């Protein structure tokens, strides 16, 4: 039924119907709508014209988008924002249940190594490549040219990768482990509150001590990643130490026995990187290492080996180029020769041989570099061969004038070892900061003994067939090289 109100609003309805039929995006219509709205108010009708049921979006030729009605600017607070994602609580690094390893007491005069991170930490960034061991970094080299042998052109090995996080370490009872691995003997004794364990196999004898990182293989010292611990009255070993150290030694490592091995000998330092300086004659490490390398080269050449030097003169050579050189020649073995220094400490003395730290273990030496135990470098594929060769080298060198045994150690920051796709070690042949050792090192006859010791160990390490090969009467090459000192 129509009321007075309805009748009064008939003109308003007419206007509204006309507007509904019109295109609201037309400018004339829009102007008219404003006039019509005012007319509706005067006629006592609606307070505003109804908006089109659904705002339409029209695409204009210039591809701009025009809205049917100017939408009010949304207040900043009204802008829809993604709900902040609250991260789940980060899983803690997997840690071993056993106490932390006994920290190594740094030798007097040596830089204090940074605390080793917990094993299996999974978030640490890649370590900064180290310039070398115990010496200042070499200057940047714009042109990486090698005088002789030629400049390598092969690319460096791939960077390290993070292996999947290993499972939580479960320490192993040494008694059961030794039985499972066919050890022929296991003797224990207590001395000074520590438990000593002597394990034997057909390959040699191993000695461990509770609470100590120092172990011995056939009397030669080497460093574990974690000190064995006493639990429930039994000595326990870390599983990665068992896999990376104990098993290869006690079970034995197959030697390649290659008939014509190729070895790359790396005389440490060179050119503008002089290395350490002798405390008795001011000779530089770079000169002594080159002479040692030449002598070693001559001995191996005489055995029918192919022995190449990363540098044959006083040349500045980047550490990465030394690795690339070995890669280019597809070397079977890499050895870097150095002499140590603890200056101004004159008391420090002895021999060290370094191998790359196996993944999952802290290093014996960090020199302040980050020591990410989750890193797995190309050379880590040869962990067992590295350890075996390092022990043979260390033993042979110790027989030269009874050097002090500073042991086979592990470091992760050594650039010349990280990227090697072959067994690789770094030897520190004594302290140039120790007057007695510096005097020996300055003697050519002594350096010849060092070279002979390394050659003997390498030949033995290569396999029985090579070790038995008769040595030619004359040893050509570096044996007669002389050392020129400043």
Structure tokens at 135: 């010496």
Give the interface segment with Zn ion, choosing from 268-276, 405-413, 440-448, 461-469 (CB under 5 A): 268-276
Partners of 376 in the β-ladder: 161
Which of 138, 152 has the CB closer to Zn ion?
138
Q: Any residues with CB less than 8 A from the CB of 66 and at least 6 apart, and which? A: 25, 57, 58, 60
Structure tokens at 280: 């008795």
Smallest separation (angstroms) from Zn ion to the CB of 366: 17
Site string for Zn ion, 313-342 (x = CB under 5 A): -------------------------x----
Q: Exposed, middle or buried by CB within 10 Å (0-12, 13-18, 19+), for 393?
A: buried
Phi, then psi, of 234 in degrees rounded to 5: -120, 150
- Residue ranges of alpha helices (H) inside 88-191 are 174-180
Alpha-carbon span 6 to 10, nearest angstrom: 6
Smallest separation (angstroms) from Zn ion to the CB of 414: 11
- Nearest CA to 389 out of 366, 413, 369, 408 is that of 408
Alpha-carbon span 291 to 190, nearest angstrom: 46
Task: Scan residues 122-181 and list those touching Zn ion (CB under 5 A).
Answer: 135
Minimal CB distance to Zn ion: which residue? Answer: 338
Which of 138, 275 has the CB closer to Zn ion?
275
Which of 227, 390 has the CB closer to Zn ion?
390
Binding Zn ion (rule: CB under 5 A), the pick from 113, 275, 362, 423 is 275
Structure tokens at 233: 């009255």
Smallest separation (angstroms) from Zn ion to the CB of 432: 9
Q: Is-contact 169 240, C-beta < 8 A?
A: yes
Smallest separation (angstroms) from Zn ion to the CB of 341: 8
Structure tokens at 354: 């370094």
Q: Which residue has the tokens 């949304």?
A: 74
478 binds Zn ion (CB under 5 A): no
Which of 217, 284 has the CB closer to Zn ion?
284
283 binds Zn ion (CB under 5 A): no
Smallest separation (angstroms) from Zn ion to the CB of 354: 11
Give the interface segment with Zn ion, choosing from 49-57, 138-146, 219-227, 272-280 (CB under 5 A): 272-280
Coil, strand or helix at 397? helix
Smallest separation (angstroms) from Zn ion to the CB of 170: 39
Binding Zn ion (rule: CB under 5 A), the pick from 119, 267, 268, 358 is 268
Residue ranges that bind Zn ion, judged by CB under 5 A: 135, 268, 275, 338
């Amino acid at each position: 039924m129509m009321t007075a109100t309805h009748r009064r609003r008939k003109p308003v309805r007419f206007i509204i119907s006309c507007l509904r039929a019109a295109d609201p995006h037309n400018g004339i219509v829009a102007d008219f709508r404003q006039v019509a709205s005012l007319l509706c108010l005067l006629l006592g009708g609606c307070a505003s014209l109804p908006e089109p049921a659904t705002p339409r979006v029209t695409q204009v030729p210039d591809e701009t988008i025009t809205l049917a009605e100017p939408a009010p600017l949304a207040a900043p607070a009204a802008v829809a924002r993604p709900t902040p994602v609250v991260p789940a609580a980060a899983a803690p690094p997997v840690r071993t249940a056993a106490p932390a390893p006994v920290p190594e007491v740094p030798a007097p005069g040596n830089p204090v190594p940074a605390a080793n991170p917990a094993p299996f930490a999974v978030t640490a960034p890649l370590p900064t490549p180290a310039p070398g061991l115990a010496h200042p970094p070499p200057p940047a080299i714009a042109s990486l040219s090698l005088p002789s042998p030629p400049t390598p052109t092969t690319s460096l090995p791939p960077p390290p990768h993070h292996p999947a996080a290993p499972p939580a370490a479960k320490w192993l009872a040494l008694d059961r482990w030794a039985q499972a691995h066919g050890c022929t003997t296991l003797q224990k004794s207590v001395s000074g509150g520590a438990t000593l364990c002597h394990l034997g196999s057909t390959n040699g004898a191993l000695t461990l001590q509770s609470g100590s990182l120092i172990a011995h293989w056939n009397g030669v010292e080497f460093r574990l990643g974690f000190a064995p611990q006493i639990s429930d009255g039994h000595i326990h070993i870390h599983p990665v130490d068992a896999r990376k150290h104990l098993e290869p030694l006690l079970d034995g490592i197959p030697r390649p026995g290659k008939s014509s091995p190729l070895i790359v000998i790396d005389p440490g330092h060179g050119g503008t990187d002089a290395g350490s300086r002798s405390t008795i004659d001011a000779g530089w490490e770079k000169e002594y290492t080159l002479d040692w390398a030449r002598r070693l080269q001559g001995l191996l050449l005489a055995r029918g080996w192919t022995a190449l030097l990363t540098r044959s003169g006083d040349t500045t050579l980047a550490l990465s180029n030394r690795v690339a050189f070995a890669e280019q020649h597809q070397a079977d073995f890499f050895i870097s020769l150095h002499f140590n220094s603890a200056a101004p400490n004159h008391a420090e003395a002895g021999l060290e041989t370094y191998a790359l730290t196996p993944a999952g273990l802290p290093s014996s030496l960090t020199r302040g570099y980050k020591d990410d135990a989750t890193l797995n470098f190309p050379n880590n594929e040869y962990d067992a061969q590295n350890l075996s060769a390092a022990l043979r080298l260390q033993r042979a060198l110790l027989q030269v004038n009874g050097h002090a045994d500073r042991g086979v150690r592990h470091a992760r920051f050594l650039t010349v070892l990280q990227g090697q796709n072959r067994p690789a070690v770094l030897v520190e042949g004594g302290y140039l900061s120790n007057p007695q050792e510096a005097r020996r090192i300055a003697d050519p006859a002594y350096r010849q003994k060092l070279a002979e010791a390394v050659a003997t160990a390498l030949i033995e390490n290569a396999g029985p067939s090579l070790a038995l090969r008769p040595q030619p009467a004359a040893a050509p090459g570096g044996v007669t090289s002389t050392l020129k000192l400043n």
